[in-house]
Amino acid sequence: MADEQQPAEDLPEPAQPKEIAPESEIKGPPQSLVADSETPNAEEPKQEAPAAYSSARSGPAGEEVRDVTSRERGRINRRELLKLVPLIAIGAFAIPQLQEPLLMDGLGFSDWASGKLFGRHRLAQTFSDNDVVPFRRFPYNYYDVVDPEVDLDRWTLTVEGLVKRPGDYKLQQIQALSKVVQNTRHVCVEGWDVIGNFGGTRASDFLRWLGADLTARYLEVECADQYYESIDMATVLHPQTLFCYEMYGKPLDRGHGAPLRLQMPIKLGYKQAKYLDTIRVTNVLKGGKRGYWEDQGYDWYGGL
Amino acid sequence: MATSATVVGSKKPDTITVAYEHPWVVRGAHWLNAVAVFVLITSGLRIFRAFPSFGPKIPQRNFWVPPPGITLGGWLAGALQWHFTFMWIFAGSGLMYVVYQIVTGHWRQVLFMPRDIKGVWPMARHYFLFGKKPVVEAAYNPLQKLAYTSTIFFGAMSFLTGLVLYKPAQFWWLAWPMGGFHFARIWHFVAMCGFVAFIPGHLIMVLLHGWNNFYSMMTGWKRDPEYLN
| pLDDT digit string, tens, across residues A79-103 | 999 999 999 999 999 999 999 999 9
Residue A94 lies in a domain: no
Which B residues, 136 through 195, put their C-beta within 8 Å of a C-beta on chain A? 137-139, 167-170, 172, 181-182, 185
Q: Tell me if A110 and B88 make a contact (CB, 8 A cut-off).
A: yes
Q: Which residues of B touch A32 (CB under 8 A)?
A: none
| Same domain as A143, residue A71 | no
| Same domain as A122, residue A79 | no
Q: Tell me if B76 and A189 make a contact (CB, 8 A cut-off).
A: yes
What is the rounded distance in angstroms from the CA atom of residue A95 to the CA atom of residue A113? 26
ipTM surpassing 0.85? yes
Output the average pLDDT for chain A: 84
| Same domain as A137, residue A67 | no
| Same domain as A79, residue A122 | no
Each domain of chain B, given as residue ranges in start order, spans 18-54+77-228
Mean pLDDT over A157-175 rounds to 97
Q: Tell me if A27 and B225 make a contact (CB, 8 A cut-off).
A: no
Determine the structural domain holding residue A72 and report its residue range: 8-83
Pick the CATH number of B18-54+77-228 from 3.30.360.10, 2.40.50.140, 1.20.950.20, 1.10.620.20: 1.20.950.20
pLDDT at A44 (0 to 100): 42
Distance from CA of B130 to the nearest CA of A (A): 26
pLDDT at B139 (0 to 100): 79
Pairing of strands A193-202, A218-223: unpaired
Among B20, B24, B58, the residue with its CB nearest the CB of A139 is B58
- Nearest one of A262, A206, A61, A211 to B104, comparing CA atoms: A61
Residue A98 lies in a domain: no
| Same domain as A154, residue A76 | no
Distance from CA of B164 to the nearest CA of A (A): 9
**Band (A57; pLDDT cuts 50, 70, 90):** confident
Distance from CA of B133 to the nearest CA of A (A): 19
Residue A100 lies in a domain: no
Count residue pairs from A and B with Cβ separation < 8 A: 189
Residue A302 lies in a domain: no
CATH number of the domain where residue A249 is located: 3.90.420.10
| Same domain as A258, residue A158 | yes
| Same domain as A271, residue A135 | yes
Global pTM? Answer: 0.86
What is the rounded distance in angstroms from the CA atom of residue A86 to the CA atom of residue B156? 26
pLDDT at A83 (0 to 100): 93
Residue A247 pLDDT > 50: yes
| Same domain as A235, residue A142 | yes
**Residuewise pLDDT in 10s, chain B (229 residues):** 344 333 444 456 788 999 998 999 999 999 999 999 999 999 999 999 999 999 999 999 999 999 999 999 999 999 999 999 999 999 999 999 999 999 999 898 899 999 999 999 999 898 888 888 888 877 788 999 999 999 999 999 999 999 999 999 999 999 999 999 999 999 999 999 999 999 999 999 999 989 999 999 999 999 988 777 5
What is the rounded distance in angstroms from the CA atom of residue A200 to the CA atom of residue A241? 9
pLDDT at B24 (0 to 100): 93
Q: Tell me if B138 and A80 make a contact (CB, 8 A cut-off).
A: no
Among A54, A77, A107, the residue with its CB nearest the CB of B221 is A77
| Same domain as A281, residue A154 | yes
Residue A91 lies in a domain: no
